[in-house]
Structure 1
C-alpha cells in the first residue's frame, strides 16, 4: 500500500503517452506487440519517462486484450504480451518507481462492437495475467462507458487488494457519454472499490481543469488527471499534437489546486511534458489540497413543453389499420415533380406516413431531408426518413438529427446501411461510426436533451424511432433477439423487409407476437419476372417462393400483365397479413406510386368495411 501512503502525503507524477510517442518515432501497427518482438523500444520509452521524473509508469498493455489483439490476429499471444510488458516495466523501474498494469477500455465511443460476455471474459483474462505478474497497482484508463469500467473494477476488487486507479474519458466538459455527470461517475467508482479516480484522454489540461472546477473533492478516494497534450491535428495524413511542455507545467499548479494528486499525460505527451510537470511540483513545493471552492455549474434551460407533433406512428395502429408507404427519392433531378405528385396521391389515398430511403443500396439519390421538407410543405404528407450510419460520422449524424428536429420532422428509421461497395461509387468510404442499434440508443438520448457526447442540448427532441427487421432471416429466432436488443435500446416499432410468402407471415407472427411494440410488415408489389428474379437472387434479405416466381414468369415481358399480377399477389398477402398484423409497410417499386396508391386504398377500404361490420354487430347486440 506504499503507493496510497505516498498519495496521502504528496503529489505523484505519472508517465506520458506510449502509443503516440512511438508513433511520432515512425512506429506503426500494434504497439503492444513490441513487448514481444522489440522489447528494447518499450524499455527505452519507460526509461525516458523515469529520467524525466515519473514516480509511476504504466505497462504497455493498453490494448493487450484478446478482443483488440484479434484485429491483428494476435489474440493467441495475449498472455505472453502482458507478461513481457510487466517484465520490461519492472526492468526499467527498479526499486524506486511504481509499476501499474494498464487495462484500457474496449468499447468504442459510440459503437457496440462486442457482447458483454465477450468483454467481460477478455478483461478477466488480462487482469489475471497482470496480477499474477506482480504489478504495484492496476490502472484502468480511457473508458467512455461507465458500465464497462464498473464491470472490470468490480472483478478486480474481488481478486486483489493492490491499489486500483479508475479513469473515465469525458464526452464533454463535466459529463460522460449518456449525460452522466463526472461527480456521479467518480462517486460510483469509489463505491465500487477504486482507490484513485480520475480523468484521462480526449481533452487537454484546459478542459479537464474546467471539469474539475465543478467537482467536489472525493471523500473516499484520491484524484488523478492524465490530459492529452492538446487537441490533435493532421498534417500530411499524420496526426500530431502541439509541443507544449511549458504550458503543461504551468497547468500542473492549477490541477493540483483542484484536487489532483496524481498527474501524468495521455495522447501526444512526451518525456518533456513529464519533466515539466515534475519541475513544477518540485519548484513550487506543491502538496495535496484538502479543501477547495466549488464553481457553480449553470443550470441549462431544458424545454419541458415538447413541440406540437403528431401522434407517434407506434401508436397509430392501436385503433385501426395503419399504413406506411415507402417512396424512394429519385436519382434524377427531373423526377422531383413526379415524386411530389406521388406523395400527394399517397397522402390522399390514406397513407399515415411516406417513408424515404437514405441512398438505398448505396446509390446516390436526392437527399431525403430536402424532399421530406418539400413533401411536408407542398403535400402535407408526413415524412418518415431513413437514417443510415454509412454516410455520416458521429458529427454528421447528430447535426442531421438536430436539423430534422428543427424542421419539425420527428419520425426516423435507424439503419446501418448497405456498404458503399454495392452501389454507384464502389470506391467511396463507408463510415459506420456506429450501427443501427447504437443509433437508436443515441437518438433516444437526444430525446432526453443530451447530445451524443453527453452535453446538455438545452431542449429535448421528440423523435419516434423505427428499427429495421429482416422478416426473411434464415434463423428467425436470432433475428428476433436482435429486435429485443433494439427494443431495449429504445426502438418504438419495426418495419420489415418485404415478405412474399403467406406461410412466412405466420412464421413471423409466431416468432414476434411476444414483442411489446408494433411491427409494420413489409409488402412490395412485383412488376415483372425479371424484377422477381433480381430480388430473389441478388438483394440481401428478400426471398421469393417458387410459386410467386412461377406466377410472375407466366406474365412474360408484358409490363401491364406483370404489374397486374404483382398487385394481385400483394393483395393476397395483405389479406393474409391482416390476420396477424395491424400494420402494413408498402414499398413502392421504381417510383410506380400508382401501384402503392391502389394498395393503400385497398387496405383503407378493408378497414372501413371491417369497422362498418363491427358497428353493425354492436347495434344488433344493443337491440337484443
Structure 2
C-alpha cells in the first residue's frame, strides 16, 4: 500500500532527529559526507528508528545541497551524497517495508540575502534530481522559515514528480510564520500548490506545536504532519542537550493526533526512545475526521503615539534642515560632550547624530546618551545602529528600547569591521545587512516583531540610510540607493564630500530619487588631517588645490582650522543650492567649527535670528 493510501486510514509515525544522534557521537563535520565515508553509521540510525516503530524514515540529506555543502568545499559532491543517502535509507527500510522520504532542507532563515531564489532553485533542482533517480517513496521539505522559499521549491518539485510531497514550515512563534502569515493560511496555500501533506517541524517543542495546531482546520485534501523538537534545549559543558522525557513526547503525540495530525515524527533532540514512546501511545488510535478549532483571537495593534515634531525626512522636504554629528566620547567623562551638545542646541540645527561605536571602537552608548540629551536637555538625537555589534535578538531589543525612550530617528548602517578597531579579536556579528535592517525596522513600524509576532503597538521610526558617493562609479552607488529605498529608507545621509565637482555630480546622479539626501560636509582641521583623508581613507580624494591650501598652514594649527572652515563654506555654497539637507560632521569634538558652519548656512538662507548663538571663538575659549 502506498504512503497516501495508508494516511487515509492510519496515523503514521516518522523517525526522529538524525543530527542529534550524530552530534551525540561526537561528529562535528559535514553529516552528509557520512553517506559515502561512513554509511554504516547512517544505516544503523535508520534501523534504530525502524526498530523503535517508525513507519517512515527520511534520508540524511537535509543539507545536501550545493549551497550548504560549499561550507565544506563539497559543493561538487551533491549528486553523489544524495544518491548514496537514498540507497542507504532504502536498504535499511526494505526488510520491514518502511517508507523512505528524500529530505530537502530549507536554506534561508530571517536573512533573504543568504541565497537568492535563482540560487535556491538551481541547488534544489540538482538535489531533487539526484534523490528522485534513486526512487524514494516521496519527498520531505522541512525546516522552512522563509515561506517564499518553500513555495518556490514546492512548485518546482511538483512539476517534476508525482510522488507525495510533505511540506513543513518552521515557526518562531506558535501559530504565525516569519512573514506574518497564519499557520492555517500557510497550510491552505501549500495545499493549493500541490502539497500532499502539510505540517510543521523544528524550533518549537510539543507544547507550542500543539498550541499552534489548535487554530488549524483540517485540510480539504492534504494531511497534517508534525515533527516537534523534543523540548527546549539546554547547554551542559558547552554541549547542547535536550532534557525532554520520552514518555512526555508519547503523550504529546496523542494530543497532536487529536488536532488532526496523521504523520508524527520528531526533530531536534528526539531519539529512537521518543519515537518508540510515540508509536506505543498512538497504537490503536484512528485518525480524526472532524475537529473543533479554537478561534484565533483578533490581533489589535495600537497606532504609535503622535510625534511632537515631524520626522526629519518630512521636515527636509519642506525647508532647509541641518543635522550635526557629534560622536559620544570613548571615555567616561561626558561633561565636555554635554557642553558641546548644548552649544549646538542653540543653533538652528535639527538633530545631533551619534555614531554607533564608529571605527569599531567602544564609546558611551548612543542610546544612553541620546536619552540623556532628549530628556535632560531637550535635544533631538539621531541614533546610528550598526549590524556589526548585535545579533537579531540584540537588534530588536535595542530598537524596542529606542522606541520606549521616544528616540525615533535612526540611521541603519553595516558598521566598520572589528579588525579596524580597538579590539581586533572581537566578533563581528552581521546577522543582517544594512538593507535587511531597514526592512526589519520598517516591520516594527507595522507593529510586527522580526519573528512575525505582533508587538501590540506600532513603532514610528524615521529610517535613514548611508550613502557613500566617494566611489569611482557613482551610478553603482545610486543603484544601491534605489535598493535601499525599496527596503524602506526614508532619507539618506552621505559621507563627507570634499569637492564642488563631486557635489554637482551627486545632485545630477540622484535628482530623480524621491528620497531626500543630507549632504555631508566635514571641515578639515589640519594639513595632516587632509593628507590622512586623501591618502588613507578609502574612497575619499581631496583636490590638489585643497591639499595645497591646507599645506600652507602646516605649522599653524589655528590658522589651518580657519582655512578648513573656509573650504567647508565654499563647499556649502554649492551644496546649499542643490540640497535642502546639510549634514555637518564635527571633527575631533571641534563643535565650534560646526557652529560657525551652521551660522553661515543660516546667513545664506537669510534666516539668521536672535537665538543667542555663541561665537565660535567664545566657545573655543
The TM-score bracket by the shorter chain reads over 0.9
Is 1:486 the counterpart of 2:487? The answer is: no
Other structure's SS at 2:113 match: coil
Superposed structure 1 runs of 4+ greater than 6 Å apart: none
Other structure's SS at 1:514 match: coil
How far apart are residue 357 of structure 1 and its match? 0.6
How far apart are residue 341 of structure 1 and its match? 2.0
Is 1:311 the counterpart of 2:314? The answer is: no
Of 385, 393, 402, the residue aligned with 2:400 is: 402
Aligned to 2:74: 74
Distance 1:515 1:20, change over 3 A: farther
Distance 1:35 1:608, change over 3 A: farther
Q: Distance in 1 between matches of 2:543 and 2:36?
A: 55
8 Å Cα contact 2:172/2:204 also seen in 1: no
8 Å Cα contact 2:464/2:491 also seen in 1: yes
Aligned to 2:322: 323
- Most deviating of 468-477 and 271-280: 468-477
Aligned to 2:237: 236
8 Å Cα contact 1:178/1:450 also seen in 2: no
Q: Distance in 2 between matches of 1:454 and 1:406?
A: 20
Instruction: Write the deviation string for residues 281-305 of structure 1: whole angstroms up to 9, x where unpaired.
Output: 11xx112111111123333442135
Q: Distance in 1 between matches of 2:516 and 2:106?
A: 36
Distance 1:383 1:609, change over 3 A: closer
Q: Compute the RMSD of aligned alpha carbons.
A: 2.0
Q: Distance in 1 between matches of 2:507 and 2:128?
A: 45
8 Å Cα contact 2:576/2:601 also seen in 1: no
Is 1:268 the counterpart of 2:266? The answer is: no
Other structure's SS at 2:582 match: strand
How far apart are residue 243 of structure 1 and its match? 4.3
User: Which stretches in structure 2 are left out of the alignment for 5+ residues?
Assistant: 609-621
Aligned to 1:618: none
Of 519, 522, 525, the residue aligned with 1:521 is: 519
- Most deviating of 344-353 and 266-275: 344-353
Q: Distance in 2 between matches of 1:89 and 1:506?
A: 66
Q: Distance in 1 between matches of 2:308 and 2:91?
A: 65
Aligned to 2:455: 457
Is 1:591 the counterpart of 2:589? The answer is: yes
Instruction: Write the deviation string for residues 222-273 of structure 1: whole angstroms up to 9, x where unpaired.
Output: 1110101111111111111114211110111100000111111111111111
Distance 1:509 1:121, change over 3 A: farther
Aligned to 2:612: none
Aligned to 1:534: 532
Q: Distance in 1 between matches of 2:321 and 2:16?
A: 59
Aligned to 1:296: 295
Other structure's SS at 1:311 match: coil
Q: Distance in 2 between matches of 1:103 and 1:538?
A: 48
Other structure's SS at 1:108 match: coil
How far apart are residue 89 of structure 1 and its match? 1.5
Other structure's SS at 1:405 match: helix
Distance 1:522 1:36, change over 3 A: farther
Q: Distance in 2 between matches of 1:128 and 1:475?
A: 42
8 Å Cα contact 1:302/1:458 also seen in 2: yes
8 Å Cα contact 1:497/1:542 also seen in 2: no
Aligned to 1:182: 183
Instruction: Write the deviation string for residues 288-327 of structure 1: whole angstroms up to 9, x where unpaired.
Output: 1111111233334421353334211111111222212111
- Most deviating of 85-94 and 103-112: 103-112
Other structure's SS at 1:112 match: helix
Other structure's SS at 2:186 match: helix
Q: Distance in 2 between matches of 1:481 and 1:514?
A: 12
Distance 1:34 1:507, change over 3 A: farther
How far apart are residue 382 of structure 1 and its match? 1.0
Aligned to 1:106: 107
Matches within 5 A, 1:164-179: 164-179=165-180
Distance 1:45 1:471, change over 3 A: same
Other structure's SS at 1:288 match: coil
Q: Distance in 2 between matches of 1:112 and 1:120?
A: 14
How far apart are residue 511 of structure 1 and its match? 3.0
Q: Distance in 1 between matches of 2:68 and 2:47?
A: 26
Q: TM-score, normalised by structure 1?
A: 0.93
8 Å Cα contact 1:327/1:591 also seen in 2: yes
Q: Distance in 2 between matches of 1:574 and 1:87?
A: 71
How far apart are residue 554 of structure 1 and its match? 2.5
How far apart are residue 540 of structure 1 and its match? 4.1
Aligned to 1:119: 120
Distance 1:349 1:21, change over 3 A: same
Q: Distance in 1 between matches of 2:346 and 2:41?
A: 71
Q: Distance in 2 between matches of 1:507 and 1:127?
A: 50
Distance 1:371 1:161, change over 3 A: same
Q: Distance in 1 between matches of 2:160 and 2:545?
A: 62
Matches within 5 A, 1:199-214: 199-214=200-215
8 Å Cα contact 2:392/2:431 also seen in 1: yes
Q: Distance in 2 between matches of 1:519 and 1:63?
A: 44
Is 1:55 the counterpart of 2:50? The answer is: no
8 Å Cα contact 1:225/1:264 also seen in 2: yes
Matches within 5 A, 1:77-476: 77-94=77-94, 96-110=97-111, 112-282=113-283, 285-304=284-303, 306-334=305-333, 336-476=334-474
Distance 1:217 1:420, change over 3 A: same
How far apart are residue 541 of structure 1 and its match? 4.7
Q: Distance in 2 between matches of 1:60 and 1:570?
A: 63
Q: Distance in 2 between matches of 1:444 and 1:281?
A: 46
Instruction: Write the deviation string for residues 35-85 of structure 1: whole angstroms up to 9, x where unpaired.
Output: 232222222211211111111111111111111111112112122221222
Instruction: Write the deviation string for residues 404-436 of structure 1: whole angstroms up to 9, x where unpaired.
Output: 111111111111212222211122222222221
Distance 1:512 1:193, change over 3 A: farther
Distance 1:538 1:241, change over 3 A: farther
How far apart are residue 553 of structure 1 and its match? 2.5
User: Which stretches in structure 1 are left out of the alignment for 5+ residues?
Assistant: 611-624
- Most deviating of 523-532 and 408-417: 523-532
8 Å Cα contact 2:147/2:179 also seen in 1: no
Q: Distance in 2 between matches of 1:556 and 1:120?
A: 60
Aligned residues between the structures: 608
